[in-house]
Amino acid sequence: MNKTAATSIDEYIRGHSREVQQLLQSMRQTIKQAAPKAEETISYKIPAFRLNGMLVWFAAFKNHIGFYPGAEAMKVFKDELSAYKGAKGSVQFPFDKPLPLALVGRIVRFRVNENVNKK
């Protein structure tokens, strides 16, 4: 990974190996399909999407893709996410397993609904 902070998702993705780039692009496309009106941005030095506030973040690490949908989404989808390591607002998708893109899409749609309907 490059040491300078990326200023766009394209730049962030280019800073990784070809294999990891493919995983990051898959995450990006899945999020875009689930939240077509969301705006791409870099937040906390990693790729993120914004729609009525921050929606989700994702990032590459040594052995996994991190996905950050927030605490409420983690609670709602806890059973489906139980196969993965996670924390209060994040989950790790290891490189040695296929990305659960259908689940990511459902989580993003949940987050869109949460953000659009917040008071």
pLDDT at site 5: 85
Please tell me the total count of domains within the chain.
1
Banded model confidence at residue 119, pLDDT cuts 50, 70, 90: low
Mean pLDDT score, 47-73: 97
- 19 lies in some domain: yes
Q: Write down the pLDDT at residue 3.
A: 53
Residue 102: give its domain's CATH number: 3.90.1150.200
Domain holding 48, by residue range, is: 9-111
Q: 2: how many CB neighbours lie within 10 A of its CB?
A: 10
56 phi and psi angles, rounded to 5 deg: -150, 160
The pLDDT tens digits of the residues spanning 22-45 come to 999 999 999 999 999 999 999 999
> Per the domain annotation, does 119 fall within a domain?
no
* Tokens 């987050």, residue located: 111
Q: H or E element: which one contains 22?
A: helix 18-34
- pLDDT tens figures, 79-111: 999 999 999 999 999 999 999 999 999 999 999
Question: Is the separation of the CB atoms in 95 and 89 below 8 Å?
Answer: no
Mean pLDDT score of the chain? 95
Is residue 81 a part of any domain in this protein?
yes
**Considering the entire predicted model, what is its pTM?**
0.94
Extract the tokens encoding 43: 């937040």
